[in-house]
Structure 1
Amino acid sequence: MARWLGWKIENLRHSYLLNEVDPEGMRGKFYGKPIVDSDGDISSWKLDVKPTRRPERDFSGTPCVPVYVMLPLGTISMKCELVDADALREQLKVLKSVNVDGVMVDCWWGIVEANGPQKYNWQGYKQLFQMVQELSLKLQVVMSFHECGGNVGDDVYIPLPIWVSEIGKKNPDIYFTNRKGGRNPECLTWGIDKERVLGGRTAVEVYFDFMRSFRVEFDEFFVSGIFSEIEVGLGPCGELRFPSYPEKHGWRYPGIGEFQCYDQYLLKSLRKAAEARGHTSWARGPDNAGSYNSRPHDTGFFRDGGDYDSYYGRFFLKWYSQVLVEHGDHVLSLAKLAFEGTCIAAKVSGIHWWYKTASHAAELTAGFYNPCNRDGYAPIAAMLKKHDAALNFTCVELRTLDQNEEFPEALADPEGLVWQVLNAAWDACIPVASENALPCYDRDGFNKILENAKPLNDPDRRHLSAFTYLRLSPDLMERQNLLEFAHFVKRMHGEAISELHSEAEEKI
């Protein structure tokens, strides 16, 4: 605990020092300098003065971190057909030309098992995998058990399977539910992981049957070694978290979000936990935790000295976060069985807003019990270690100073959060990969990713096991953006970059 509190204090000190050194947030920006004429008046602005770019680290000779690129969300149609195969092939050839290691694709439950229980259609994925294999690229595949549409970056709509939605009409408690009774069909509540409410199967059995079918259908590709990793979707956006901040329910950044535990199955679990503790009156969610767009200091639960740190608050948050860990445990145990011999991974979201407050409210509503006096990511890393699973984390390209400049009221600290989560994974001795949270095309963003991928002066030479870039798009294919991306890939691979641009231009 002393080590943990020491890091928290040092992290805050570091943030304040950065603000003192660069209070105007002018890092990396062009600016003018006033010129004083012979009469002592400011006559003009000198516009040709540019700050020197911060010295870049030389990453030649550093460990190779493989780079993957996410394919568009709509690569496979609702009929499970590969969309515009010829155009995709050309784009993959371009990625191959800049030495990308492979691509990532979502394998959508709502497409493959759309029309009936255990009626799987893998047609489009087989065509895609053959194309990728022909180009000698590797594949990361996401078992996507969630809805697509309604979140940041979603440009297509892929609902849960039709037959699941029909069950949901009769029994809406299969979905996560907020305090006011609002249902979220984005994914299934973890309360039915072991409840036979899906045509006689539990949710975990449904996930396992899907994964087992994938393993059997694509056996030849497993044998050839094209799959470098299978990432298992564990919640909204494929992330291990509660859907606490859904935009379609009115959430806007940097709202704290809401607890999502009011379906009948999770409430039953909460009652059992309260009874076991000997306090039946605790079988309830907090009644003073605000709403989706509240600020921590405006609520009785999350404010400094609030109920989050009371006896009841600690009981509730421990139960709530344990539900999250147990869900990951249940699903990954079966994923390990289905994909024996292949690396599996879980994705954890980077909820960096309100990180500089005592309660860390946005993390709490998402299921990460990580207030300032507790490490909420160590239990998750320990659970992943149990299943030899890697941790995939987001937001490695974000800088705290930039966030403070754009949204000072959010009290965000993405750098502190990334540092904490990566070290929790490394301390548990599990591989840790990452991806960017927002589109990135500029040198500063790529440099930040590199800094996190290969920490400077780390005595153990720890580094990311892989990085996945969000995402293949027309913007990435633009010449200048592609050159910058090629520069980034080469440095991630630990190669020299002196001749990079001439080589990359020739290929492009």
Structure 2
Amino acid sequence: MAGVRHATVTLAVLSLLLSGAGTAQATPADGPVPPGPVALDDPEFTANVMAPLKVTDWAAFEADLETVAAYGVDAVSVDVWWGDVEGAADNRFDWSYYDQVFEVITSKGLELAPILSFHQAGGNVGDDYTSLLPSWLWTKYADRTYRGVELGPTGLQHRSEQGNHSPESVQGWADRVVMNEYRDFTRAFERQYGDVYADEVVEVNVSLGPSGELRYPSYNQHDEGTGYPTRGALQAYSPLAVRDFQQQMLYRYGSLEAVNSAWGTDLGSADQIGPPADAEAFFTSRAYLDTQYGRDFVDWYNGSLVDHGERVLRTVIRALGRDFPEADIGYKVPGIHWQMTHPVHPRATEVTTGLIQTSVDLDSWATGHGYQRIVELANRFDRGPREVVMHFTALEMDDQPGPEAYSLAQTLVQWIGDYAFRAGVELKGENALAGGVGSDEGWDNINEAFETWGYLGLTVLRIGDVSSGTGARRYAEFIATYSPDI
């Protein structure tokens, strides 16, 4: 399963090397040779759908399942909400809803792609259901001290440049405080379903941040004026984040004197090292791009996010053990496509969400246009027992480079597809907004991503959008093109 994909990528990259078209580390100055339709007749191709955030109309859900199963959908992605399952009390798990939903899905001949959803439902685009993180979580650790920081009631949460806290997910800088919670939840899931659905679970997706995505909550509702299409807000102001930044900079440079020399500052103590005091000026002055301090901060911010992803994924992989032997592990990266061509602060929203570095050439295919660490997170598990798969959103979107969006959504899909292919990372895609699969234009963009840029599977948001009309027709045509079984 995993070996087939690695062999395919290795042969493809070797072909590029022999032809002189490029390498796994670099591409020609005028751009790469696109990967092409790697999903064609590939046994690793998958066509999935997302279930509703919470099923309430069971008859309609069953009808939708029968429809998509008939035209070749493989599996259904289901959010397994931490707040629903373990919300009542620590280590008390209620699986009754998932017993029912998994049984209904598999009874229609469809496989399962559960999402271990360690984030809040509700408050984001398209959310029609609310499930908060377990309330006991915040009080359980309020009296703890970690890395010399007394946590208190908000100590596990991100704190933004506006001074607001986000309860949507636990900040990565607190991973080691709560990692046992992720482990215990995963083990409970494995005990409940490891025997019953040993072969039906084909992928376990892992929530790594808000909306289940590997990102910071930079454009979420806890901050004012940060929604689409603004630059968002930095989320690096919690005591744990500040402490980590201080320690990482001292480790990198060796002393406060060396920090001052590199940054051109005259800080009197390590306690004065911190995130931007004026975040707006940090972007409008282009300090995030043009100063050593700015590049160091953004590199740390991005690196912290990637390291968080690795820690949580490793914990889940270990907790699953040998159960679900057919299951890959997936993580989702959002297509943060706006503000990319902004005349004052280009690529700023990708910075506030933590997705890119600014110490590398953002115009280079060789760096994934700044995404190399995010994409290559999957390769940190090469010697592990499971294939780690990256999912990327926004496949249905067009570029809109002018005001106000300054968006390069379709271009971003190309950048990610190219870099993932050359890095040997198995890449699958999603639509970002439900409306995108209701139009022929959206499906044309999805097809272009698969025909040209190396995507290997698709998960559609959501099942109801491809159970009738244009969505059903185009998804059926898409599956017939790529699936070796249709």
- 2:361 equivalent in structure 1: 373
- Paired residues of 1:441 and 1:485 also in contact (CA < 8 A): no
Q: Could you list the runs of 5+ residues in structure 1 that have no partner in the other structure?
A: 12-56, 76-82, 195-201, 291-299, 457-462, 497-508
- Paired residues of 2:392 and 2:429 also in contact (CA < 8 A): yes
1:318 to 275, 299, 302: 299
* Aligned CA-pair RMSD: 2.9
Q: Does 1:146 align with 2:119?
A: yes
1:168-317 alignment, distance < 5 Å: 170-194=152-176, 202-223=177-198, 225-250=199-224, 251-276=226-251, 277=253, 278=255, 279=259, 280=270, 283-290=273-280, 300-303=281-284, 305-317=286-298
Structure 1 residues 8, 332: closer, same or farther in 2, change over 3 A?
Answer: farther
- 2:445 equivalent in structure 1: 448
1:12-411 alignment, distance < 5 Å: 63=42, 65-75=45-55, 83-167=56-140, 170-194=152-176, 202-223=177-198, 225-250=199-224, 251-276=226-251, 277=253, 278=255, 279=259, 280=270, 283-290=273-280, 300-303=281-284, 305-340=286-321, 341=325, 342-356=327-341, 359-371=346-358, 373-374=361-362, 375=367, 376-387=370-381, 388-400=387-399, 403-404=400-401, 408-411=403-406
Bigger Rg, which one? 1
Structure 1 residues 69, 268: closer, same or farther in 2, change over 3 A?
Answer: same
- Paired residues of 1:221 and 1:227 also in contact (CA < 8 A): no
Partner-residue secondary structure (3-state), 1:187 = coil
Structure 1 residues 494, 247: closer, same or farther in 2, change over 3 A?
Answer: farther
* Alpha-carbon distance in 2 for matches of 1:351, 1:60: 24
Partner-residue secondary structure (3-state), 1:391 = strand
Structure 1 position 236, deviation (Å) = 0.5
CA deviation string 1:132-169 (max 9, x = no partner): 22211111111100011111111111111121244588
Structure 1 residues 248, 489: closer, same or farther in 2, change over 3 A?
Answer: farther
* Alpha-carbon distance in 2 for matches of 1:362, 1:2: 30
* Alpha-carbon distance in 1 for matches of 2:455, 2:242: 39
* Alpha-carbon distance in 2 for matches of 1:465, 1:158: 31
CA deviation string 1:107-130 (max 9, x = no partner): 000101101111111111122212
CA deviation string 1:263-315 (max 9, x = no partner): 1111111121233223337621113322xxxxxxxxx3234753432111111
Q: Could you list the runs of 5+ residues in structure 2 that have no partner in the other structure?
A: 1-21, 143-151, 260-269, 382-386
* Alpha-carbon distance in 2 for matches of 1:3, 1:346: 22
* Alpha-carbon distance in 1 for matches of 2:40, 2:166: 48
- Paired residues of 1:190 and 1:327 also in contact (CA < 8 A): yes
Sequence identity percentage? 28
Letter of the 2:352 partner, please give it. Answer: T
Structure 1 position 359, deviation (Å) = 4.5
Structure 1 position 5, deviation (Å) = 9.6
- Paired residues of 1:60 and 1:495 also in contact (CA < 8 A): no
- 2:429 equivalent in structure 1: 434
* Alpha-carbon distance in 1 for matches of 2:377, 2:27: 25
Q: Does 1:472 align with 2:457?
A: no
Structure 1 residues 219, 69: closer, same or farther in 2, change over 3 A?
Answer: same
TM-score between the two structures when normalised by the length of structure 2: 0.78
* Alpha-carbon distance in 2 for matches of 1:171, 1:188: 12
Letter of the 1:425 partner, please give it. Answer: A
- Paired residues of 1:308 and 1:359 also in contact (CA < 8 A): no
Structure 1 position 472, deviation (Å) = 2.0
Letter of the 2:412 partner, please give it. Answer: L
Partner-residue secondary structure (3-state), 1:132 = helix
Letter of the 1:452 partner, please give it. Answer: A
Partner-residue secondary structure (3-state), 2:335 = coil
1:479-498 alignment, distance < 5 Å: 479-493=469-483
Between 374-383 and 231-240, the greater mean CA deviation after superposition: 374-383
* Alpha-carbon distance in 1 for matches of 2:272, 2:410: 36
* Alpha-carbon distance in 2 for matches of 1:302, 1:180: 15
- Paired residues of 1:304 and 1:359 also in contact (CA < 8 A): no
TM-score between the two structures when normalised by the length of structure 1: 0.75
Structure 1 residues 304, 421: closer, same or farther in 2, change over 3 A?
Answer: farther
